[in-house]
Amino acid sequence: MQQSMAHQMMGYDRTSTMFSPDGRLLQVEYAKKTVKQGTSALGIACKDGVVLMADKRIVDPLVVPKSIEKIYHVDDHIGATASGILSDGRILIEKAQLIAQQHKVTYDSPIDVSMLTKEICDMKQAFTQYGGARPFGVSILFAGVNGTEAQLFATEPTGIYFEFKATAIGEAEQELKDILAKEYKDNMSVDEGIKLAVRSLKKVLGKEFDINRLEGAYIKTSDKQFTRLKKEDIKA
């Protein structure tokens, strides 16, 4: 009986445009599971800026650590990090960079973080609705500054997105969220946010924790400039 049911379900995961009898899009669910297998990343919105931190998970000792990119510079006031299939993430982030540049040229002003996030999520949603393509197997955190407000958005393979004070994506998502829920404070500074981000990843990585695995960046509301964290900053 179970084998018969499995065979019936198999036909519904051949395309992202076909609903299963119980109302699920199985290809989209598989894409969400792919994100859970990706390396961990987190974002924290602070009173004076926003922080992004990610685990690069260097699996080959011969790989040059700086060649692995997990934190992306989208615009002067916006950064991003991704988890899941990073090649999918790169395509979406390059699209985000183009949208931000076009907005600046057209309107002579920086794009809102929420507007950019919506544009990327519209593209994600389209790949769950039309045939001939699979959903993007990646979640992206967009972090940036609008005026004097720091904002953090998390996007899912479905095309849905939410704004967070602090959140995480990737293989240790739930563990990191639990830590953030306990230790996050509304009046945190960027420096405190960086410490919390490093401390959180150190807890979930345990014995595998290594400074070389971490990559981070922050954007302060004072200058609205994307700034990468150096290894010395993370170590300190």
In sequence order, the 6+-apart residues with CB closer than 8 A to the CB of 73 are 79, 217, 226, 228
Class of domain 30-235: alpha beta
* Predicted pLDDT at 1: 46
> Which DSSP string corresponds to 43-104?
EEEETTEEEEEEE-----TTS-GGG---EEEEETTEEEEEEE-HHHHHHHHHHHHHHHHHHH
C-alpha–C-alpha distance, residues 81 and 142, integer Å: 7
Q: What is the pLDDT of residue 9?
A: 55
pLDDT (tens place) for every residue of the chain, 236 residues total: 445 545 455 677 777 778 888 888 888 889 999 999 999 999 999 999 999 999 988 878 888 877 888 999 999 999 999 999 999 999 999 999 999 999 999 999 999 999 999 999 999 999 998 877 889 999 999 999 998 899 999 999 999 999 999 999 999 999 999 999 999 999 999 999 999 999 999 999 988 888 888 999 999 999 999 999 988 877 77
* Rg for the chain, CA atoms, rounded: 19
Cβ-in-10-Å burial (0-12, 13-18, 19+) of 201 comes to buried
Return the half-sphere exposure (C-beta side, CA atoms, 13 A cut-off) of residue 78. Answer: 25
Question: What amino acid occupies position 104?
Answer: K
Q: Are strands 138-146 and 166-169 parallel, antiparallel or unpaired?
A: unpaired
Q: Answer for the pair 43, 151: CB distance below 8 angstroms, yes or no.
A: no
Which residues neighbour 148 within 8 Å (Cβ) at sequence distance 6 or greater? 221
Q: Is the dihedral of CA 158, 162, 168, 173 positive or negative?
A: negative
How far is 11 from 2, CA to CA, in rounded Å?
15
Residue 49: half-sphere exposure toward Cβ, Cα within 13 Å: 22
3-class SS at 152?
A: strand
**Nearest residue to 137 via CA among 36, 9, 25, 57:** 36
Number of H helices, E strands in the chain: 7, 10
Domain boundaries, the chain: 30-235
**Positive/negative CA dihedral, 68, 214, 97, 89:** positive
